[in-house]
Amino acid sequence: MRCVSGALVLALLSFGCTSSPGPYAVEDDDTSDDDSDDDVADDDTSGPDLVPPEVELTVPASAYASGVVEVSAVASDASGIERVDLLVDGVLLVSDDASPFTAPWDTAPYSDGPHVVQAVAYDRNGNSGAAEREVGVDNHAPEIAFVTPQNGREVEGVVAVELSITDTSPVPSVDVSVDGVLLEALTGPPFQATWDASGLPPGQYEVSATATDAAGLSATASIWVRVDESIPVDDPDSLVGRTYLLDAFSGTIVEPAGIEPVLDLLVSELPLLLSPVELDAGEGTVRVLAAMVEAGGGPPAQDRCQATVELGGGVPGIFDDPDFQVGPATLEATVEGTEIRVEDLLVIGEFAPDGSAMQEVFVIGSIDTRPMDEYLGGVGAACDFVGLLGISCLPCPSTGDPYCLDLWVEDLYALHQPSVTVVPRTEAEIAADPGC
């Protein structure tokens, strides 16, 4: 190979000289396969972003939710967060492109029970990451029932208070009280407390239970019991066939508080004739027939143009000498020209030792206000009227319609009426009676 100077090589290249064979060809003395002098090495080893965002669902913090709760998520990614979708049961709640990623969740339209809350985060390269949590929706307060003691019963000594509580979510808190004073705080089933009634003055006592569930909803239920040294009836069998006159509105109206002005406008009294038609002291049962009193202001007499009602609807009441409890029943009657309907009517009290009276009686029930609407201006007028007194209508036991008022009257007394005998009367008999 003939050598040439570097300057000559540069000159030849400047005139387009190539490395083709010829007298002035320039060849590379390096015979290796390494082209590093001619090629540019690719030092970029990074590939496409396939890493999903990190996302954490921070609320609801509780496993149970009620009402409106806030759903919130925290998301992060090296490339940045494009957006976060918040979903409930796979349905989009909100899509948020800026932190904080939050949204209110109204649980009211959702059924009680488990629902899946989810947060899905998307980064700027299209990757997604998700987090989810199962949350129990509970929009109904606990339902409370007293197993023992029973409403209206007489108690003495050490009393076992047992509750049946049902709810969608757990119930971690139940406060049992007597006359407003905390007796025991229960933290879970079995819901049982002990009340020592020994030495208490005779009288009526309110036993109440307030239950709070895991969703924060509370409910309260109450019963009344009597602490008394009752004297048994001399001859319980002699009570059968006797008739007692009871004015159900003549006592102290506990519920609804402040209803007296309304009752005075509609009816001044609710006189009933109560007659034990069957009593078994050994079995502890009693059946009582109720009849309306004939209007007119004379001596008490049965209104035979109104149907009689067996309190309990065919189911015997309780007789625990001398105490009794009969009902529930539905009483429909006309008093002073006004229709009265009382659902779930209970009559509770005790017989005097000589059978001359029913004493310490109280009446519980639910008054349907709809029969009174026509006198006050139309559907719902009675509820609107009592609403002015701060009294709210509640669902009726039979239909669930919000037109009823809870009734609780105590301090009642029913005197024996020797000259009155209650005769059973049906609607069919009344319809066929020309005198009605």
Domain of residue 133, CATH code: 2.60.40.10
Q: Is the dihedral of CA 347, 349, 352, 358 positive or negative?
A: negative
What per-residue confidence (pLDDT) applies to 26?
Answer: 35
Shared domain check, 189 and 334: no
Cα-trace Rg, the chain: 42
Shared domain check, 394 and 253: yes
> For the whole model, what pTM was predicted?
0.55
Residues pairing with 335 in the sheet: 338
Contact 132, 119 (CB under 8 A): yes
Of the candidates 99, 119, 137, which is a domain's last residue?
137
Shared domain check, 90 and 215: no
Please give the Cα distance from 245 to 179 (Å, whole number): 31
Q: Is residue 49 part of a domain?
A: no
What per-residue confidence (pLDDT) applies to 59?
Answer: 73
Higher pLDDT pick, 313 / 176:
176
Confidence of residue 24 (pLDDT cuts 50, 70, 90): very low
What per-residue confidence (pLDDT) applies to 105?
Answer: 94
Given a cut of 50, whether residue 34 has pLDDT beyond it is: no
**Mean per-residue pLDDT, 317-339:** 89
Higher pLDDT pick, 401 / 11:
401
- Tens of pLDDT, residues 361-394: 989 999 998 888 877 778 888 899 888 888 899 9
Shared domain check, 266 and 118: no
Given a cut of 60, whether residue 38 has pLDDT beyond it is: no
Shared domain check, 179 and 195: yes
Shared domain check, 245 and 332: yes
Amino acid found at 261: P
**Mean per-residue pLDDT, 238-252:** 92
Share of the chain above pLDDT 70, in %: 88
Q: Between β-strands 143-148 and 158-166, what pairing exists: parallel, antiparallel or unpaired?
A: antiparallel
- Give the chain's mean pLDDT: 85
What per-residue confidence (pLDDT) applies to 261?
Answer: 73
Higher pLDDT pick, 417 / 59:
417
Confidence of residue 291 (pLDDT cuts 50, 70, 90): very high
Please give the Cα distance from 262 to 242 (Å, whole number): 33
HSE-CB for 353 with a 13 A CA cutoff: 5
Q: Is residue 3 part of a domain?
A: no
What per-residue confidence (pLDDT) applies to 266?
Answer: 66
Structural domain boundaries, residue 84: 54-137
What per-residue confidence (pLDDT) applies to 42?
Answer: 43
Please give the Cα distance from 314 to 312 (Å, whole number): 6
- Tens of pLDDT, residues 140-171: 999 999 999 988 888 888 999 999 999 999 99
Please give the Cα distance from 75 to 97 (Å, whole number): 11
Instruction: Average the pLDDT over each of 41-45, 331-335, 388-392, 430-434 and give the range with the smallest value.
Output: 41-45
User: What's the total number of domains in the chain?
Assistant: 3
